[in-house]
Amino acid sequence: MKNRIQKIKEFLFPGKLIGFRIDFERENGKALCFLLISGMVISLCSLLYSLMKGVAFPTGAHPLEYVLFFSVSVALLIGYKKEMIRSGTFTLYVWICLLLTWSLFMTIGEPREYPSYLFFFFILVLPLLIRDAWGKILILTLVFSAAFILVDYFAKDSPHFPLDMVYLAACVCAALYLSQRMIHERISFMETSFTATKKADHDMLTGIYNRRGGEHLISNYVANGITGAFMLVDIDDFKHINDHYGHAAGDETLKAIALALQNSFRETDVVMRMGGDEFIVYAVGMADLNHVMERLEKTRAALHEIHPDPSGGGEHVTASIGCVINLGSYPDYDSLSAAADKLLYLVKEEGKDNFKCSAIEYKG
């Protein structure tokens, strides 16, 4: 029973959607802009047509509706473009509710023998414009369908009411089915794209960033003047590990090293494998020399806990680390890497299994 309820919840409110909330918000913002611009154009054209038909400014309900519709559309569009309206999804829901409510009032004013084509059109099209949990779209559609049934029952002649209900059922079923399919396919597509991007940006063996993904992130941080500690980590005598314990043990050691580096730093920090036995860490915002030195010492101790021998004993892993603190003066990734590489070379000359750190500003 619990599994069945969980499946229903996942179907109505897919948990996968949470990971793509920002992307869906962006798409809903585009749909909102489309609706608002369409509303302005239609209402303006309708108003001009009404003016052309009459010598003076026409009076009555419809011209006032056009003016109100146009004014609200302009206000919402300006507010959204200037980011006064933060949530495109919420505003899209509000705007769709206004359109559906307006179409319900139009149903009352239509001849009693005419089907309510305007409401049917909106109920068929509008759910297709929203990117959100399908359960919310279902609730929106069913609430307004129920309201339409009540309005239509009292507004239409009894012989035409059943025909309206047939049209309504057909439009609701089509809208909900198409909406569910579109959202499901969109989530599947975004999952596939995310997986492909992750594979392209992450090291297959260790799961951390590879050179492509890590360099891209660090380059963006440096280009935007975001401070941090750039650490070049070179595992000492890794060839000996492969030769003595085998390549399988070497791969397990690399995985353990990557995990130790991840655990030594925060999720916001960039941990990447350059390839082979070289790793790079960019600790975002870590600019205090004493703090960086403490973190390097802890990292060194964490690496000492790793033993390449599958039995768990014997020698431990050591690394030579060159670290440069970027206070915002380094122009790009290459300059940081070159400065850290010089310090790494000094560590290796002095006997390895150590680190050197510099907070000197970049001088070109």
**Neighbouring-strand partners of residue 279:** 233, 273
pLDDT band at 109 (very low <50, low <70, confident <90, very high): low
**CA pair distance 299, 260, nearest whole angstrom:** 8
Q: Is the pLDDT of residue 325 over 90?
A: yes
Average pLDDT, the chain: 85
Residues 329/361, Cβ–Cβ less than 8 Å = yes
Maximum Cα–Cα distance for the chain, whole Å?
99
User: Stretch 93-104: mean pLDDT, rounded?
Assistant: 87
Q: Is the pLDDT of residue 62 over 70?
A: no
Rounded to 5 degrees, φ, ψ at 277 are -110, 25
| pTM summary value | 0.58
211-358 has which fold?
Answer: Alpha-Beta Plaits (3.30.70)
Q: Is the pLDDT of residue 339 over 60?
A: yes
Q: Is the pLDDT of residue 10 over 50?
A: yes
Percent of the chain with pLDDT over 70: 91
What are the start-end ranges of the H helices in 204-288? 211-223, 238-245, 247-264
pLDDT band at 110 (very low <50, low <70, confident <90, very high): low
pLDDT reported for residue 58: 43
Q: Where are the domains of the chain?
A: 2-199, 211-358
Q: Is the pLDDT of residue 139 over 90?
A: yes
User: Stretch 312-339: mean pLDDT, rounded?
Assistant: 90
pLDDT band at 91 (very low <50, low <70, confident <90, very high): confident
What token pair was written down for 184?
């499901």
Tell me the three state secondary structure of residue 321.
Answer: strand
Among 23-32, 106-115, 310-319, 334-343, top mean pLDDT goes to: 334-343
pLDDT band at 257 (very low <50, low <70, confident <90, very high): very high
pLDDT reported for residue 55: 46
pLDDT reported for residue 111: 59
Q: Is the pLDDT of residue 188 over 60?
A: yes
pLDDT reported for residue 57: 43
Residues 327/222, Cβ–Cβ less than 8 Å = no
Q: CB atoms < 10 A from the CB of 68, how many?
A: 12
User: Stretch 47-61: mean pLDDT, rounded?
Assistant: 60
What token pair was written down for 351?
């006997």
Q: Is the pLDDT of residue 232 over 90?
A: yes
Q: Is the pLDDT of residue 31 over 70?
A: yes
User: Stretch 218-247: mean pLDDT, rounded?
Assistant: 91
Q: Is the pLDDT of residue 9 over 60?
A: yes
Give the residue, 264 or 72, on which the prediction is more confident: 264
pLDDT reported for residue 60: 45
Give the residue, 262 or 73, on which the prediction is more confident: 262
**CA pair distance 94, 348, nearest whole angstrom:** 64
The pLDDT tens digits for 141-164 are: 999 999 999 888 887 766 778 888
The pLDDT tens digits for 276-303 are: 899 999 999 998 999 999 999 999 999 9
